[in-house]
Amino acid sequence: MSAVPSAGNGKITVPSILERKSRVPSQNSTAGKITCLTAYDYPTARLLDEAGVDILLVGDSVGMAVLGYESTLPVTLDEMLHHTRAVRRATRHALLVADMPYGSFHVSLDESVRNAVRLVKEGGAEAVKVEGGERRIELIARLVEAEIPVMGHVGLTPQSVNALGGFHVQGKTGDAARQVERDARAVEAAGAFAVVLESMPRELAARITEKLRIPTIGIGAGPDCDGQVLVIHDLLGFGEGRRPKFVRKYADLAGEISRAVGAFRDDVKAGAFPSDAESYHSAAELREQEGPQGLKPLRKVTV
């Protein structure tokens, strides 16, 4: 199947994601909920795409999940492009969204648009995600004008970790909740096709979901959002450090990898790997020539 959308080829598109909002029949229904996972490499993206995940997000969480940075702040546009291209090669069905990393949309509007265009043109992204609410109105409008669909991201925005003083749940007081709600409305008004709601009380996320016409994708925002997103390494148990309470670990990949690598190490040390069946063999006539000293030289070599 081509990754280019055409009627009826099953490709998830920006309009089909928007349509899902109107199809979610009630807050408590699970029908039509949007699934989104992060992906950073070809083999993982292929599995997620084949499993029918709606949106693959090349998040700047790649910095912490894969590149070993302590926050998402050091992630560069070139790093995002590298990972987006890998995910692009694997993705046939899902909508591919790439994060705009910190610094790529903070200097000027022109430069921001240029950077987003690179994610589409060189990375193969079909949409970009931008962190921030009211402050991003102009930027989102400019990107949409440049034919680049935008996913917003409000609540806890990890690129603001220094300004926020850490990774904390947002919108817990009346004033803070009203600000998160204003941010979500601003993102919608600017033309975003969906918005990530991160780390906020479920009641606030439910209220925002009720009020917006675009789908909300929650992470640590309770079950009433129109969809859910998780970092794939968290879901698979492949991360390190403390797991936030909203993460459900569906597998223990770290444990499984440690077990497998330990078994390989033990087998090699004990001479149990590789076995004869796991080895290549010389042709029969060559084997006849092979004495205990190995192959006889074909001709005498004089030095």
| 56's tokens | 């693959």
Q: In the bound complex, what is the minimum distance in angstroms from residue 139's beta carbon to ligand KIV?
A: 17
Name the 3-class secondary structure at 72: coil
61 binds ligand KIV (CB under 6 A): yes
Q: How many residues bind ligand KIV (CB under 6 A)?
A: 11
Decide: residue 269, CB within 10 A, 0-12 exposed, 13-18 middle, 19+ buried: exposed
The closest alpha carbon to 109, from 137, 130, 139, 135, belongs to 139
229 binds ligand KIV (CB under 6 A): yes
Nearer to ligand KIV, 51 or 260 (CB): 51
**Residue from 48, 127, 187, 219 binding ligand KIV (CB under 6 A):** 219
The continuous run of DSSP H or E covering 95 comes out as strand 95-99
Which residue among 147, 198, 203, 210 is the active-site one? 198
Distance CA 191, CA 229 (A): 21
Q: Which whole-number Å values give the CA distances from 117 to 62, 103, 113, in the listed order?
A: 20, 15, 6
The owner of tokens 């046939």 is: 92
231 binds ligand KIV (CB under 6 A): yes
Binding to ligand KIV (CB under 6 A) within 122-161 occurs at 153
Sign, CA torsion 116/118/120/123: negative
Q: Which stretch binds ligand KIV (CB under 6 A): 55-63, 140-148, 180-188, 245-253?
A: 55-63
Residue 198 catalytic? yes
Binding mask 34-53 for ligand KIV (x = CB under 6 A): ----x---------------
Nearer to ligand KIV, 112 or 216 (CB): 216
The owner of tokens 């029908």 is: 31
100 binds ligand KIV (CB under 6 A): no
Q: In the bound complex, what is the minimum distance in angstroms from residue 151's beta carbon to ligand KIV?
A: 9
**Residue from 90, 196, 197, 212 binding ligand KIV (CB under 6 A):** 196
In sequence order, the 6+-apart residues with CB closer than 8 A to the CB of 71 are: 63, 64, 158, 161
The closest alpha carbon to 126, from 100, 105, 102, 98, belongs to 98
Nearer to ligand KIV, 5 or 247 (CB): 247
Distance CA 207, CA 92 (A): 34
59 binds ligand KIV (CB under 6 A): yes
Q: In the bound complex, what is the minimum distance in angstroms from residue 172's beta carbon to ligand KIV?
A: 20
Return residues touching ligand KIV (CB under 6 A): 38, 57, 59-61, 99, 153, 196, 219, 229, 231
Task: Write out the catalytic residue numbers.
Answer: 198
